[in-house]
């Protein structure tokens, strides 16, 4: 997923997300990788009390460089740095508000505004990144102090009548009426964003809106923290090796390494640790023969933040929904969904819901068939199941029996792939492929870890990282001949890091002017096992390619107007570059380039690849309906929030998606109480989870243009994709960008053809 870098309080106001990109070359203060002692603060023209230079030793969070001195970002700096950057940003905005009519220009009104918010956005990006990857108690305490300050500031700016008056005045000038299409698009979005953000509201409504946003921010932050704490609180230690029968050797090693790392086992006295993290949970559900152990681990994950648990999110979720509904009503919308989708491809909730319902209806026959096939398989090998009067599955049995069925049906054991998916080989092979596809050079920058607060000097020629397993890289454009991007990769789980995988955007630069883009790629893939390598599943590999697709979208963006650059695009289009990347992990010709045995360097056997590709669409309808159930529940609760006040949201979500899940005597909870995609900040993916399937439908169609009639790959299409999609950001409407690449409107049925749910015409 693409992460929301900063507090995008009003999703309908794209200019508030300018922290994702800027017109500045942020590498300048630290070309060699060492932050400069001072960075100009760009004092405003009105001579307000803003320092000409920022003392970066005293304010390390305010250094604008991708080569951050992570060890210096101590907790005591968070509050003073927040206060200072808000003071500086306000002074810059005030200076714009005092411009005389003859001083109005695109640069002085729009460009200066973008620049002012770039500094704040950069700071919030660093802060948000730390919250996602380094959430210790000390950080959390200070982070909670500054969130209301930041929320209040953003809300006030969205309602800034003085700046809006200046912007409107400029929009009526001859220069504004003659702007080039990209700048005209940006100006139009800014004007509409202010209106939709409530700048024209009466004073009492503005005050109410401010109160709504002020209340919502800490609630969403608490929701996210509860999920993190709940995940960290569950540890199932197994000391009897007989109970882990069925678990593959690689997963046994991972569980043993986790127990040793937690101080709960040794090599001499082994034990195996299971958690609710996907990298631990998924193998447990698929392979453990012990049904009772599967049941216990399943219930632990299913009840994360559920009623009656220490981290119950029920009331938080209800209140967030109520506040979102009220926000929409204040701004003149029927519901939060219509507010959020106004500038996305779907435009409104009805269109998004119709897409979900239509795709579900087309998937349902295959979904039902897959269930009956699984029942028939189990009946053929499990006498107790066959003899039952009403044979049915418990939810902790589905993955276990599905894996057995897949092995029998396709003679495919995915664990045979892992020795060929060693993490370093995967990463280096991925880099080499995209180097070729997009004419780039991706290479590692030497790095060193220093603990928080360290005063040890950084070794010469190295950049700093925030954890020993993190790596830093640069991207060089071969045609331009210089660096266009810097990114970090943090791919392994740890307790202070939130679950899931994401790309965190910071800067999307104008490469024609030498500006450097900056992003983070983060995940929780299968971890290193002691001193051994990390051997990844194919799902891990897909996840990496997915997030790296977001990363390339961010870094290869090359739009001269920064808020329209990089991955800052319509939310139901943003997943296209990431999802199209997943296809490369299924192409035998691409796998053959880098999938080598980590010990022998032997290439992956063709028989393994063939079996993997044959099994690609195994239970594809089930997987699609699962994603659609999340999308349906998300849209329904936000479109009907007003009528759901006081109701059990989990039950509501289960009721509206009952046909999207296979029947079971145990009615499992929905994931609403732990659905951080929807509730981790005021916007997140709320009313937007459908965009995963929407974008997947787009990419399923678009990827076919990489195939020749004989099925071979046409890699020359890579540069076309780069030029028409990756570089263009939001400089055009997303539908137009799609047509520029494919040459026509999308075929929405392509997703079902790709997954074998319906036959190709």
Q: To which residue do tokens 């800052």 refer?
A: 568
Annotation marks residue 241 as catalytic: no
Give the CA diameter of the chain: 87
Query: Alpha-carbon distance 717 to 707, whole Å?
Result: 9
- The 3-state secondary structure of 508-545 reads CCCHHHCCCEEEEEECCCCCCCCCCCCECCHHHHHHHH
Neighbour tally for 553: CB within 10 Å: 30
Contact between 355 and 632 under an 8 Å Cβ cutoff? The reply is: no
Which residues make beta-bridge pairs with 371?
none
* 263 Ramachandran zone, left/alpha/beta (phi>0; psi -120 to 50): left
Query: Alpha-carbon distance 755 to 706, whole Å?
Result: 17
Nearest to 143 by CA among 133, 128, 123: 128
Query: Alpha-carbon distance 499 to 132, whole Å?
Result: 9
Contact between 210 and 159 under an 8 Å Cβ cutoff? The reply is: yes
Give the pairing of strands 482-490 and 517-522. parallel
Name the catalytic one among 370, 414, 547, 696.
547
Which phi and psi (to 5°) does residue 413 adopt?
-115, 110
Give the pairing of strands 482-490 and 463-465. unpaired
Nearest to 672 by CA among 235, 354, 316, 299: 316
Contact between 695 and 746 under an 8 Å Cβ cutoff? The reply is: no
Write the CB contacts of 563 (distance below 8 Å, at least 6 apart in sequence). Answer: 14, 15, 17, 18, 20, 21, 114, 186, 189, 730
Length of the chain, in residues? 761
Q: Pull the structure tokens for residue 53.
A: 């230079």
Collapse the DSSP code of 483 into the 3-class scheme (helix H, G, I; strand E, B; otherwise coil) and give the result: strand
Neighbour tally for 226: CB within 10 Å: 22
Say what the alpha-carbon torsion angle 254, 257, 262, 268 is, to the nearest 10 degrees: 140
Catalytic positions are 547
């Amino acid at each position: 997923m693409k992460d929301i870098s900063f507090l995008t309080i009003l999703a309908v106001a794209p200019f508030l997300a300018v922290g994702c990109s800027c017109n500045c070359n942020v590498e300048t203060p630290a070309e060699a990788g060492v932050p400069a002692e001072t960075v100009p603060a760009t004092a405003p023209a009105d001579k307000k009390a803003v320092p000409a230079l920022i003392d970066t030793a005293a304010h390390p969070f305010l250094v604008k460089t991708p080569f951050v001195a992570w060890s210096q970002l101590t907790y005591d700096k968070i509050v003073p740095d927040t206060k200072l950057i808000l003071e500086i940003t306000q002074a810059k905005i005030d200076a714009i508000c005092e411009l005389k009519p003859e001083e109005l220009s695109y640069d002085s009104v729009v460009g200066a505004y973008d620049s002012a918010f770039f500094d704040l956005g950069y700071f919030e990006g660093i802060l948000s990144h730390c919250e996602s990857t380094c959430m210790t108690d000390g950080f959390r305490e200070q982070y909670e102090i500054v969130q209301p300050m930041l929320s209040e500031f953003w809300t006030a700016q969205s309602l800034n009548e003085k700046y809006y008056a200046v912007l409107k005045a400029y929009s009526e000038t001859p220069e504004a009426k003659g702007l080039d299409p990209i700048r005209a698009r940006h100006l139009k979005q800014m004007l509409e964003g202010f209106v939709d953000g409530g700048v024209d509201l009466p004073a009492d409504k503005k005050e109410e809106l401010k109160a709504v946003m002020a209340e919502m921010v800490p609630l969403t932050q608490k929701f996210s923290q509860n999920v993190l704490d709940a995940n960290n609180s569950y540890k199932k230690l197994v000391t009897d090796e007989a109970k882990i029968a069925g678990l593959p050797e690689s997963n046994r090693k991972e569980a043993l390494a986790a127990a040793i790392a937690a101080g709960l086992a040794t090599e001499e006295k082994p034990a195996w640790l299971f958690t609710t993290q996907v990298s631990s949970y998924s193998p447990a559900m698929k392979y453990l023969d012990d049904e009772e152990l599967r049941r216990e681990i399943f219930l632990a994950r299913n009840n994360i933040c559920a009623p009656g648990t220490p981290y119950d999110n029920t009331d938080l979720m209800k209140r967030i929904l109520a506040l979102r509904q009220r926000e929409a009503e204040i701004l003149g919308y029927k519901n939060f969904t219509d507010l959020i989708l106004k500038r996305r491809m779907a435009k409104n909730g009805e269109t998004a819901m119709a897409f979900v319902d239509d795709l579900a209806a087309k998937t349902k026959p295959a979904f039902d068939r897959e269930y009956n096939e699984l029942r028939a398989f189990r009946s053929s090998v499990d006498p107790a199941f066959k003899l039952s009067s009403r044979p049915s599955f418990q939810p902790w049995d589905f993955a276990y029996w599905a894996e057995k069925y897949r092995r029998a049906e396709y003679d495919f054991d995915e664990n045979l792939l892992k020795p060929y998916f060693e993490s370093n080989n995967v990463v280096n092979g991925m880099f080499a492929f995209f180097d070729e596809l997009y004419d780039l050079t991706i290479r590692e920058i030497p790095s060193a870890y220093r603990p928080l607060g360290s005063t040890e000097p950084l070794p010469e020629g190295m950049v700093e990282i925030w954890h020993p397993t993190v790596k830093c890289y640069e991207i060089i454009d071969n045609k331009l001949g210089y660096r266009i991007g810097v990114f970090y990769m943090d791919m392994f789980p740890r307790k202070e890091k939130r679950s899931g995988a994401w790309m965190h955007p910071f800067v999307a630069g104008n490469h024609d002017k030498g500006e450097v883009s900056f992003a983070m790629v983060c995940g929780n893939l299968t971890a290193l096992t002691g001193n051994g390598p990390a051997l990844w599943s194919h799902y891990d590999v897909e996840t990496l390619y997915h997030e790296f697709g977001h990363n390339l979208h961010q870094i290869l963006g090359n739009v001269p107007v920064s808020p329209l650059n990089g991955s800052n695009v319509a939310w139901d289009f943003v997943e296209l570059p990431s999802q199209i990347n997943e296809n490369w992990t299924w192409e035998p010709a691409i796998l053959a380039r880098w999938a080598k045995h980590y010990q022998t360097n032997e290439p992956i056997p063709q028989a393994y690849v063939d079996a993997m590709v044959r099994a690609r669409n195994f239970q594809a309808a089930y997987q699609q309906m699962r994603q659609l159930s999340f999308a349906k529940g998300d849209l329904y609760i936000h479109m009907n929030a007003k009528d759901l006040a006081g109701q059990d949201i989990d039950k509501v979500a289960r009721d509206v998606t009952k046909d999207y899940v296979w029947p079971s005597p145990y009615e499992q909870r929905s994931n609403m109480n732990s659905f951080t995609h929807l509730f981790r900040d005021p916007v997140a993916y709320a009313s937007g989870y459908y965009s995963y399937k929407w974008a997947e439908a787009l990419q399923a169609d678009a990827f076919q243009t990489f195939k020749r009639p004989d099925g071979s790959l046409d890699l020359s299409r890579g540069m076309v994709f780069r030029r028409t999609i990756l570089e263009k950001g939001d400089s055009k409407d997303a539908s137009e960008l799609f047509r520029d690449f494919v040459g026509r409107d999308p075929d929405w049925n392509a997703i079902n053809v790709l997954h074998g749910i319906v036959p190709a015409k």
